[in-house]
Chains A and B, each alone.
Chain A
Amino acid sequence: MFRYIPNGDDDRKSMMDHLGIKDIDELFKDIPETLKFKGQLDLEASQSEPEVLKYFEEKAAANCSLTQLTSFLGAGVYDHYIPGIIKHMVGRGEFYTAYTPYQPEISQGTLQVIFEYQSMICDLTGMDVSNASMYDGPTAAAEALLMATTQKKMEKIILAGAISPEIRQVIETYMKYRDIEVVTLKEEKGLVDFKDLEAKLDQDVAAVLVQSPNFYGLIEDVERVSEMAHGRKALAIAYVDPISLGVLKSPGEAGVDIAVGDGQALGNGTNLGGPYLGFLATTNKLVRKMPGRIVGQTEDVDGKRAWVLTLQAREQHIRRYKATSNICSNQGLNALIASIYMTTLGREGLKEVAMMSLQKAHYAYDKLLATGRFKPAFEGAFFKEFVLLADMEPEVINQKLLENNILGGYDLSKACGVDKGIMFAVTEKRSKEEIDRLAELLEVM
């Protein structure tokens, strides 16, 4: 009757005979009578595969997806090209139906994938060590900050002003209930106000977190933040867009202690916000303070190269209350996607994607300014996303664009109080033709 349950009534009966019981409820006799659920769950009856598919197809039809829309929306989630081979490899049941690789002898596939993921995240970020992934960028940022407060035994952290509201809100939740003080810096033309940093960076600060490119798409001077933090014995944490690292200075080159970010852009679909993955990489010095799983190289009894989960004494299943974090399940399959993406694009491809996004974003920036409907919001250098000030409400602009099957920019007037501010993201996937069309529509609006 239920296709995922092989045992039918006959099997069930013979197994019950074996146990000497007549009624399945005899196996539930230990549940006190008053706690037995005697009614029927208020859910639908079981449905066949065609019925289930029809339901979801109807819901899909009630959406308007990126297959129908040309997207200029970013704000942390980007419509980059996803190589077709990824789904074929990720779809292998040996990968996605496996558990956490606690049995190394039959989990070398997953373990090696994580080892290579760690290696490539280190390549990209220029850091010494990476863990096997966190839930997403914002939670990775929160955990990095907790790492810093533990390491420094200080209860205060500083956040740059222009970080994404998603990141900020998650950090606030994690810190609020630990009584860790969160100090936010003022912005200076959309960037870190270094005078304010100087003033707020006192002896009690565990870490300074800066996002670059920041929420407005502007490139921050991470190196300077890092130097100033270290000058006051605080840690520096950079939240970065992994794609930007094809062109921009790596967190390692900028001298930070912890690099975090969201790996969505590394081959993961936009998926209405998840699942993505958070990455977290740090220096050798801090490796034992890291949250999450880590894979290390070793050998088996025959001397054959092998991989295994290591430094497990940091983790919840061993260290319980004193663990570095409570994280157990991570985003393993998304880390596999990121690995295949980084492997497929490789050394040249990642540079190319970064370069093309950069060039097209700048082309779009010039093109939109030329319409005469916008003014630049900031002066700083940007990567693939930029903020403009419109001569009308962004909401109205986006509505008009939507009518023309374009997913417009992020409305900063609502979320961030930048009056008539609208932020456009341009990836390598956007063609000149699509950008030109956007400009034409805006010009006549």
Chain B
Amino acid sequence: MRNYDKVIYEVSKKGRRAYRLPESDVEMKPVESLIPEAFLRKEEAPLPEVSEVDVIRHYTNLSNKNYGVDTGFYPLGSCTMKYNPKINEDVAAMPGLSQLHPYQPEKTIQGSLEIMYELQKALAEIGGMDETTLQPAAGAHGELTGILIIKAYHQLKGDFHRNKIITPDSSHGTNPATVATAGYELVEIPSNADGSVNLEALKEAIDENLAGLMLTNPSTLGLFETQIGEIAKLIHENGGLLYYDGANMNAIMGKSRPGDMGFDVMHYNLHKTFSTPHGGGGPGSGAVAVKQHLAKFLPKPVVVKTGEGYGFDYDRPESIGKIKGFYGNYGILLRAYTYIKTMGRDGLKYASETAVLNANYMMHQLKEDYKLPMNQVCKHEFVLDGLKMDELSGIRTLDVAKRLLDYGYHPPTVYFPLIVHEAIMIEPTETESRETLDEFIAAMKAIAREAKEDPELLKNAPYNTPVRRVNEVLAAKQLVLKYKDSL
């Protein structure tokens, strides 16, 4: 089935079935006698009709056109594509932990509440914070939660005029987008060439309308922001709060804590740092931890310890409210806590150390063939600025990335951060062996050679993938967003 190319509708044949429901054991009344005809569907939903074998073959063949961490090395900078432990999946699938209705009485879910309570505590500890909410569904959702907490804090003090959030221009796109979603004005400040905060620009951006600053540390260039102490002082002295974007937390577990750096509120990406799978785009989890002075603004409910065990605390009058239905992506929380228990306090620290060692090891070797804008020790990831060769060759970072596909790798993040023109952002994570790193380095070097000897080879890559370079302009122009027979 190497060339399987069917859409499920093209497999469909009238009368085929992949399910079997029990026969009805109650009297089937005419539907019109139960529901007024005006409320009934006139046209059937034209879903496919297939057999169980068709379903299995279809999705198995589609999975074969994918590339996951289970397939191979995935050095996607900023995304922390570490191995997703299988025991996490087993725990999340335990019927006693998963087959629970969110409105069950609290006394029937004490085990789960205890896990959530323990996870809240563990995350607060790792970040140097005091309290945690597990409700946000993803990193960007955590950002929104955190920024709304900052807003609620200012509003409670009557400071409605504080309407500006500062972010550096090297930030993740979700930062400015979150500022907009929270109804704040954005002040974007230029970064220094090394990705660090430009203190002069920051000072200039601060005025009486300052609400807060959003920052990633290590920065999106993978470098530790050494001025963070001074930055925090500056923001706090001017009445603002500091938000920590936890996307790069894998660099510093057990080595440094956002809370100790002066941050007031932060989110974690449990699907990055704590090994839960990315699922082809989600679900993630964006737990948010805060210092004590912001705890009362956390979304409700928070899991608390009570006299009789554990329970949901809804009695939080200053809470920003609910940010998601129920209590968060609970299934993801189970996986993350499984990981924390498996790694333990030493394992988490060892993971960060190894992630940083792996990144420096790769950087050290790749700088021979690729431009390295910042030649200094990096954290868990580093950014190259394209090939070290005559720019007239016309070989761009995109070509290198596409050629890597032929070597069997998922390419690094490219063209981010925006301040590095031909950015190649590499994050190996701690779960890769030295041999894997060496093989990847060899592939990158081979591509650098190919770029000199046969540039066309790169420009037309990839060759060995299920499809080759795709026409994005056509996709955006014709806008075929659902299956139509006529195409």
Contacts and interface: CB of A to CB of B under 8 A. Distances in A.
Interface in A238-281: 245-250, 253, 262, 269-277
A334 B91 contact: no
B462 A105 contact: yes
Contacts of B182: 177-178
A299 B471 contact: yes
Contact of A219 (B39, B144, B338): B39
Interface stretch (A132-140, A196-204, A227-235, A437-445): A132-140
B126 interface: yes
A274 B324 contact: yes
Interface in B341-396: 341-351, 353-354, 356-358, 360-361, 364, 376-377
A404 interface: no
Interface stretch (B17-25, B233-241, B450-458): B17-25
Interface in A380-427: 381, 383, 398, 402, 407, 410
Nearest to A360: B26
Interface string B207-234: 0000000000000000110101100000
Interface stretch (B61-69, B198-206, B288-296): B61-69
Contacts of B243: none
A138 B325 CA distance: 6
A279 B326 CA distance: 17
Interface in B29-66: 29, 31, 34-36, 38-50, 52, 55-56, 58-60, 62-66
Contact of A326 (B81, B101, B178): B178
B281 A101 contact: yes
A101 B280 contact: yes
B476 A311 contact: yes
Interface string A84-106: 01011101111111111101111
A35 B279 CA distance: 35
B344 A45 contact: yes
Given A100-B280, A248-B41, A4 B275 contact: yes
Contact of B43 (A57, A172, A253): A253
B410 interface: yes
B66 A94 contact: yes
Among B98, B151, B338, B462, max chain A CB count under 10 A is at B98
Among B112, B321, B475, max chain A CB count under 10 A is at B475
Given A103-B405, A116-B483, A300-B470, A73 B36 contact: no
Contacts of B5: 304-305
A169 B29 contact: no
A52 B127 CA distance: 23
B103 to A, nearest CB: 6
Contact of B482 (A115, A319, A428): A115
B432 interface: yes
A53 B87 CA distance: 8
Contact of A274 (B31, B328, B376): B328
B341 A63 contact: no
Interface residues of B, number: 202
Nearest to B339: A4
Contact of B338 (A14, A52, A75, A130): A52
Contact of A49 (B99, B342, B466): B342
B177 A381 contact: no
A83 interface: yes
Contacts of B183: 177-179
A343 B256 CA distance: 48
Contact of B433 (A6, A42, A249): A6
Contacts of A298: 470-472, 474-475, 478, 480
Contacts of B483: 115-116, 119
Contact of A85 (B41, B56, B256): B56
Given A105-B467, A299-B471, A273 B326 contact: yes
B104 A407 contact: yes
B41 A245 contact: yes
A44 B28 CA distance: 57
Interface in A1-47: 1-2, 4-7, 11-12, 14-16, 18-19, 24, 26-32, 34-37, 40-47
Interface string B294-327: 0000010000000000000000000011111111
A18 B7 CA distance: 50
B486 interface: no
Given A107-B67, A346-B49, A99 B79 contact: yes
B139 interface: yes
A327 B322 contact: no
A44 B345 contact: yes
A99 B280 contact: yes
A306 interface: yes
A97 B327 contact: no
Contacts of B470: 104-105, 298-301, 306-308
B122 A94 contact: no
A52 B341 contact: yes
Among A93, A294, A342, max chain B CB count under 10 A is at A93
A381 to B, nearest CB: 5
A173 B299 contact: yes
A196 to B, nearest CB: 21
A334 B98 CA distance: 15
A253 to B, nearest CB: 6
A284 B126 CA distance: 46
A72 B155 CA distance: 42
B468 interface: yes
A118 B481 contact: yes
12 contacts: A34-B229, A43-B126, A53-B91, A63-B112, A96-B68, A270-B100, A274-B329, A320-B177, A328-B138, A343-B58, A362-B34, A363-B27
The 3 A-B residue pairs with the shortest CB-CB distance, nearest first, are A273-B326, A60-B96, A93-B70
Given A4-B343, A43-B122, 6 more contacts: A59-B97, A73-B104, A97-B69, A109-B280, A110-B280, A304-B467
